[in-house]
């Protein structure tokens, strides 16, 4: 079974540019989550999809971040325009049901804004 | 503000010793507790989860939970150099995790 796949693994962009991160969850997992870890801080929740619907987006830092999950399969997280403080590692996770034991994390996208 | 706290480390133990990792949490309504291991540049991987007070053992790992004290720990027996990683404590009250900052463990050969 393929795991959670994230693309790209690394991205370096200039301040003010746009970046789109992609997450492909495990097939059949209705729940998809985005988390991020900025330098020196803990991993923090961004948002949660159930299929194509946003269940909880309370962790999204501001309106420069837009997440979508069209068709309830893969998800994208767009940052527009990117700021320096957006640098960090963005993790995606998916689960079949909401229990934590079934979470699987992707390997993350390391975003550097210069 | 729900918080999970851990000592950032590094925690250094000699090979073969017991490594003890600690975590406290602020939300008394938290239901489930998880320990993840993360190697540098890799994804967090689940080591153990615990829901009930007491101890839960899985191989060389033992998770301990004390809800009254809002405290959860992870013991690693017979530590190996391959156990060197960052250990993340994560607490789940609803659908989402609240993570601690992680403890960096170094097992010295």
Q: Say yes or no: B91 contacts chain A, CB-CB below 8 A.
A: no
- pLDDT tops 70 at residue A99: no
Residue B75 reports pLDDT greater than 80: yes
- Do B103 and B37 form a contact (C-beta atoms < 8 A)? no
How many residues belong to chain A? 114
What six digits make up the tokens of B94? 């609803």
Q: Which residues of B touch A35 (CB under 8 A)?
A: 97, 99
Q: Report pLDDT for A65.
A: 97
Contact A100 B88 (CB under 8 A): no
Measure in Å the smallest separation between the Cα of A17 and chain B Cα atoms.
25
Q: Which of B58, B54, B98, B92 has the alpha carbon at shortest distance from B73?
A: B54
State the residue for tokens 């804004």. A113
Q: Are A83 and A64 in contact (CB under 8 A)?
A: yes
pLDDT in tens, B25-54: 999 888 899 999 999 888 899 999 999 999
**B 44-83: CB under 8 A from A:** 44-46, 49
Query: Which pLDDT score is estimated for B45?
Result: 92
> What digits encode the pLDDT tens for the residues A45-73?
999 999 999 999 999 999 999 999 988 89
Query: Phi and psi dihedrals of A85, rounded to 5?
Result: -75, -5
A10 → chain B, closest CA residue: B41
Q: How confident is the model at residue B1 (pLDDT cuts 50, 70, 90)?
A: low
Instruction: State the CB neighbour count (10 A cutoff) for residue A5.
Output: 15
């Amino acid at each position: 079974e393929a795991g959670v796949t994230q693309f790209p693994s690394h991205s370096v962009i200039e301040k003010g540019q746009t970046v789109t991160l992609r997450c492909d969850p495990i097939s059949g997992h209705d729940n998809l989550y985005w988390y991020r870890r900025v330098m020196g801080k803990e991993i923090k929740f961004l948002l949660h999809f159930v299929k194509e619907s946003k269940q909880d987006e309370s962790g999204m830092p501001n309106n420069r971040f837009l997440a979508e999950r069209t068709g309830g399969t893969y998800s994208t997280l767009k940052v527009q325009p990117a700021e320096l403080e957006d640098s960090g590692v963005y993790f995606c996770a998916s689960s079949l049901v909401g229990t934590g034991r079934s979470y699987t994390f992707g390997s993350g996208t390391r975003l550097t804004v210069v | 503000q729900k918080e999970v706290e851990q000592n950032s480390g590094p925690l250094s133990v000699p090979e073969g010793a017991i490594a003890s990792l600690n975590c406290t949490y602020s939300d008394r309504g938290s239901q489930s507790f998880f320990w993840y291991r993360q190697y540098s540049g890799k994804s967090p991987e689940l080591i153990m989860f615990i829901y009930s007070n007491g101890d839960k053992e899985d191989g060389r790992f033992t998770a301990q939970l004390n809800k009254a004290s809002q405290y959860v720990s992870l013991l690693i027996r017979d530590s190996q150099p391959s156990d060197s990683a960052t250990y993340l404590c994560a607490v789940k009250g609803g659908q989402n995790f609240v993570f601690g900052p992680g403890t960096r463990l170094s097992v010295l050969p």
